[in-house]
């Protein structure tokens, strides 16, 4: 089974990270390639074969797409991308296409995906099984929701063979943020949540312990010294959390020995990085990005972060007590934390919790909590592979 995964990130890196985890699970058993078309990142795609389309990203007002490369027009980039995508499928002839989010989102990329899916459907492109990969909670439309959900449902029913929902249905189901789920007449399968683990067993406890001890030794942490890791994913949003962590940390250090490791994300503006550097005090280290966040979380005694899908799944996999700051422009992140709070040591922060003394108190309380194993299915990457194999076998 020759697989290709299409992933288009336009703002952060969460969609890309989840797609990479699924691709790595697939690549253990099948030739797997990844199609990307977003802004350049520091994310390591390893040995996965890539088709890199000319980049598109959201504009400053989040109102539309613009080329990543200066001097190129939007129409020029769109035409080049569509041509590259169709040529790729004619040349490579994949057996299975997995689209990340589309058509539940990324409707702005219909210009290249609709001709591709139409060509597969009408036979002008090589035969290929088309499936959709979607996270647990959708960002709900404020305007035009009924029309959008109708188009999504029609597209799924006419062009796709199955939907993988990367969630544990004991936590949340897709119909809570997609009102016409009952009208989808193709198979829909809950995979469990996707983490960076591709072993197929939902996590390797001894491996986590090994990572913890190895990193703590590299940092020369004393046995009683506590490690706090603060991160904000891609770094486009969440700077206020990192600023608050820097301001609260000296109050923590007055009570017991600790270190604060900050990761700003690859898209963090240079001005915000400079401001954080100005706020650093002894015990604080600031870096842009790590490709090994899971190892840092295994070593940490506390995490401070945003509440995006991938970050939260990394927290659950590590079993580390955490304070999470949900993005406030939609209810996705807050809803996820609300559902998972009872099954974990995750505590949501509000804007009022970022005052230094208040945040320091919450951090100290979380530092006293034990590590845990959540009662949540985290085998999503491996189960995605298994389910795609089942659908492909039935389709042949």
How far out from the chain centre does Cα 357 lie? 31
pLDDT digits (tens, 9 = 90+) for 191-206: 999 997 544 333 333 3
Question: What are the residue boundaries of the structural domains of the chain, listed by start?
Answer: 3-201+378-395, 205-367
* pLDDT value, residue 200: 38
Q: At 276, is the secondary structure helix, strand, or coil? A: helix
| Matching residue, tokens 């320091």 | 360
* pLDDT value, residue 341: 87
**Which tokens belong to 2?**
């020759």
Burial class (CB in 10 A: 0-12, 13-18, 19+), 112: buried
Element (H, E) at 361: helix 356-367
- Superfamily for the 3-201+378-395 domain: Glycogen Phosphorylase B; (3.40.50.2000)
* pLDDT value, residue 197: 56
Fold agreement between 3-201+378-395 and 205-367: yes
| Domain 205-367: assigned CATH number | 3.40.50.2000
pLDDT digits (tens, 9 = 90+) for 84-105: 999 999 999 999 999 999 999 9
Q: Residue 207 pLDDT more than 80?
A: no
* pLDDT value, residue 209: 64
């Amino acid at each position: 089974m020759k697989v290709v995964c299409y992933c288009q990130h336009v703002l952060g890196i969460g969609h890309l990270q989840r797609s990479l985890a699924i691709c790595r699970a697939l690549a253990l058993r099948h030739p797997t390639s990844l199609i990307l078309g977003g802004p350049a990142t520091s994310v390591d795609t390893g040995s996965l074969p890539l088709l890199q389309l000319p980049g598109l990203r959201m504009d400053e007002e989040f109102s539309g797409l613009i080329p990543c490369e200066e001097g190129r027009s939007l129409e020029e980039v769109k035409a080049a991308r569509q041509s590259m995508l169709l040529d790729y499928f004619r040349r490579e002839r994949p057996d299975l296409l997995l689209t990340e989010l589309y058509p539940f989102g990324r409707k702005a990329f219909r210009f290249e995906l609709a001709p591709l899916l139409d060509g597969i459907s009408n036979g002008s492109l090589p035969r290929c099984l088309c499936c959709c990969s979607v996270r647990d909670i959708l960002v709900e439309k404020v305007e035009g929701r009924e029309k959008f959900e109708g188009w999504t449902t029609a597209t799924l029913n006419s062009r796709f063979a199955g939907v993988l929902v990367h969630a544990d249905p004991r936590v949340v189901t897709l119909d809570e943020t997609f009102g016409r789920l009952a009208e989808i007449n193709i198979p829909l399968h809950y995979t469990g949540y996707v983490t960076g683990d591709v072993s197929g067993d939902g996590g390797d406890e001894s491996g986590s312990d090994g990572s913890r001890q190895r990193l703590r030794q590299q940092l020369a942490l004393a046995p009683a010294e506590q490690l706090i890791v603060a991160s904000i994913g891609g770094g486009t949003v969440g700077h206020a959390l990192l600023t608050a962590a820097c301001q609260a940390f000296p109050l923590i250090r007055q009570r017991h020995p600790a270190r604060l490791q900050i990761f700003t994300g690859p898209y963090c503006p240079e001005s915000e990085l400079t401001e954080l550097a100005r706020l650093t005090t002894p015990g604080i280290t600031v870096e842009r990005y790590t490709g090994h966040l899971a190892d840092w979380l295994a070593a940490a005694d506390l995490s401070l972060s945003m509440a995006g899908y991938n970050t939260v799944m990394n927290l659950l996999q590590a079993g580390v007590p955490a304070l999470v700051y949900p993005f406030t422009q939609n209810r996705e992140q807050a809803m996820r934390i609300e559902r998972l709070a009872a099954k974990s040591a995750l505590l949501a922060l509000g804007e009022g919790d970022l005052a230094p003394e208040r945040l320091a108190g919450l951090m100290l309380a979380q530092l006293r909590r034990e590590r845990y194993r959540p009662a949540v299915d985290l085998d999503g990457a491996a189960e995605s592979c298994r389910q795609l194999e089942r659908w492909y076998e039935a389709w042949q």
